[in-house]
Amino acid sequence: MALPSSLADAHAEELARFAELHPRSHELFERARGSLVSGVPMTWMAKWVGGHPVYAASAHGARVTDVDGHEYVDFALGDTGAMAGHSPPPTVAAVRRRLEGDGGATLMLPTEDAAWVGEELARRFGLPLWSFALTATDANRWALRLSRAVTGRPYVLVFNLCYHGSVDETFVTTEGSRPGNVGPPVDPTTTTRVAEFNDLDAVERLLADEQVACVLAEPALTNIGIVLPEPGFLEGLRAACDRTRTLLVADETHTFSAGPGGCTRAWGLSPDVVTIGKSIAGGIPIGAYGVSEALGARIEALEGADLIDVGGVGGTLAGNPLSLAAARATLDEVLTDDAFARMTELCDRFVAGVRGVLDTEGVPWSIVQLGARAELAFAPDPPRSGAESAALHDGPLEDFLHLFLLNRGVLITPFHNMALMSPATTEADVDLHTRTFAEAVRVLR
Ligand code: PMP
């Protein structure tokens, strides 16, 4: 592709354009540096290209407007937290009702919405019993604790270069502790075994001694680019877990994009636990984990495990009425079966648009789709493992593409090259991306 020097020139031009377009964001960033670590409310927000983040003024549906008055089509959608679109009206109405009408954002008492959401998640994912958290990270952390408690086994198995939130056990790669792991409490190789995604032999070998409590896996990796399972891999994983009486936890936080019941329903999977978060309450914080009947019984039969007070599973605001009111409205009226069908069609259009550009321009890249989500990979064939996907990473090229798109009103996820459709996304939004992506590729060529 582009020579490094020409890429650097093109990037410098985009940086100048960014600076010219965003004086107010720059001003707010300079101010925030006085009171916020790295000048941002959460350090990962420093990831945005351009030297500082764009400050948002408002966000509705699939659009964000910044403090300098620019409007963006948002394919980042809060890295899935806003997959329902920004401020979906039914969710907003439910939140208003909860806060202003019924009253009570957080109580020590359940509300009817909790049972409704449990029933709906059971219908979608096929697991009958649910508990709530505030983040997907916590849902995963508690799923791991419960898995260790019921099996009495010490280890967790994860896939190389996975991401499941800031869960200590998951910060390990086939090479050892994950580079950049911030202050790990213990060496994670003492808690965790790691296999490459799609390597069933490795999974079988690592489960053979029956010391692994659970496998924690996304049905398709989404945080190191998208890596889809090869035919038979997930079935083999389930069978290996069954043979060794290892629990299988499916983290559907991102793969929910595959359909109304995530990959679990779309592909007929049967995990023992599903964890999820981010999107199911329309942007209001929530996490959830669902367990099978059998596992639910084992959890309730645990002796000496403090599930009520200070035993390590639970959070004061978990299961709060506000989250659950928002989740009920979002699942009932926003992220519906029909909405998923439309989002997937839009993503088909997105993928076809990108493929058209790659074909026309003769660029040997590929794009992988998972329902409403798509991801560009800088190789003619999509990666088959986390390591393969990581090897395709190209920081300068990604930064250029992100900035070029942003400068022309298109946001994609700042981490790698992911785009997500919401129920509010339109064909015109998708076509704007296609046109702008084509322009970017032509500049590179
Ligand atoms: N699971 C997966 C698959 C994720 O991608 C993420 C976050 N990107 C999480 C869990 C954690 O979500 P949160 O940061 O909202 O806790």
Spatial separation of the C-alpha atoms in residues 389 and 160, rounded to whole Å: 11
- Name the phi and psi angles at 180, rounded to 5: 85, 0
**Distance from the CA of 445 to the center of ligand 1, in angstroms?**
36
Spatial separation of the C-alpha atoms in residues 371 and 62, rounded to whole Å: 17
Q: In what order do the strands lie in the sheet with 287-291?
A: 129-133, 287-291, 273-277, 247-251, 212-217, 155-159, 192-195
Q: Is the CB of 278 under 6 A from ligand 1?
A: yes
- Name the phi and psi angles at 124, rounded to 5: -75, -45
Q: In what order do the strands lie in the sheet with 373-377?
A: 366-370, 373-377, 418-420
**Distance from the CA of 1 to the center of ligand 1, in angstroms?**
33
Q: Is the CB of 252 under 6 A from ligand 1?
A: no
Q: Is the CB of 135 under 6 A from ligand 1?
A: yes
Q: Which helix (H) or strand (E) holds 249?
A: strand 247-251
Q: What is the pLDDT of residue 2?
A: 46
Residue 4's pLDDT band (cuts 50, 70, 90): low
Spatial separation of the C-alpha atoms in residues 66 and 347, rounded to whole Å: 25
Q: Is the CB of 86 under 6 A from ligand 1?
A: no
pLDDT digit string (tens) for 263-296? Answer: 999 999 999 999 999 999 999 999 999 999 999 9
* Beta carbons of 316 and 120 less than 8 angstroms apart: no
Q: Please enumerate, as own/partner, the contacts of 393-400 that have beta carbons within 8 Å and a separation of 24 or more.
A: 393/225, 396/4, 396/7, 396/8, 396/11, 397/1, 397/2, 397/7, 397/444, 399/11, 399/49, 400/7, 400/10, 400/11, 400/14, 400/440, 400/444
Give the relative orientation of helices 112-125 and 321-329 as an angle to the nearest 10 degrees. Answer: 50
pLDDT digit string (tens) for 177-209? Answer: 999 999 999 999 999 999 999 999 999 999 999
**Distance from the CA of 77 to the center of ligand 1, in angstroms?**
14
Q: What is the mean pLDDT of residues 212-218?
A: 99
- Of all protein residues, the one whose alpha carbon is nearest to atom 14 of ligand 1 is 165
**Distance from the CA of 72 to the center of ligand 1, in angstroms?**
24
Least Cα distance to 349 among 427, 432, 410, 411 occurs for 427
H helices then E strands: how many in the chain? 14, 16
Q: Is the CB of 196 under 6 A from ligand 1?
A: no
Spatial separation of the C-alpha atoms in residues 276 and 24, rounded to whole Å: 36
pLDDT at 47 exceeding the cut of 90: no
**Distance from the CA of 218 to the center of ligand 1, in angstroms?**
11
Q: Is the CB of 163 under 6 A from ligand 1?
A: yes
pLDDT digit string (tens) for 88-110? Answer: 999 999 999 999 999 999 999 99
- Ligand 1 atom closest to 138 (CA): 16
pTM for the predicted model, two decimal places: 0.97
Q: Which helix (H) or strand (E) holds 431?
A: helix 427-444
**Distance from the CA of 174 to the center of ligand 1, in angstroms?**
21
Q: What is the mean pLDDT of residues 243-250?
A: 99
pLDDT at 123 exceeding the cut of 50: yes
- Best of 47, 134, 164 for a ligand 1 pocket test (most atoms within 8 Å of beta carbon): 164
Q: What is the pLDDT of residue 402?
A: 96
Least Cα distance to 280 among 318, 316, 250, 323 occurs for 323
pLDDT digit string (tens) for 65-79? Answer: 999 999 999 999 999
Question: What mean pLDDT is reported for the chain?
Answer: 96
Spatial separation of the C-alpha atoms in residues 71 and 410, rounded to whole Å: 9
**Distance from the CA of 412 to the center of ligand 1, in angstroms?**
17
**Distance from the CA of 138 to the center of ligand 1, in angstroms?**
9
Least Cα distance to 59 among 36, 93, 92 occurs for 92
- Of all protein residues, the one whose alpha carbon is nearest to atom 12 of ligand 1 is 136
The 8-class DSSP code of residue 102 comes to I
DSSP 123-166: HHHS--EEEEESSHHHHHHHHHHHHHHHH---EEEEETT---SS
pLDDT digit string (tens) for 384-413? Answer: 999 999 999 999 999 999 999 999 999 999
Q: What is the pLDDT of residue 415?
A: 83
- Ligand 1 atom closest to 140 (CA): 10
pLDDT digit string (tens) for 365-390? Answer: 999 999 999 999 999 999 999 999 99
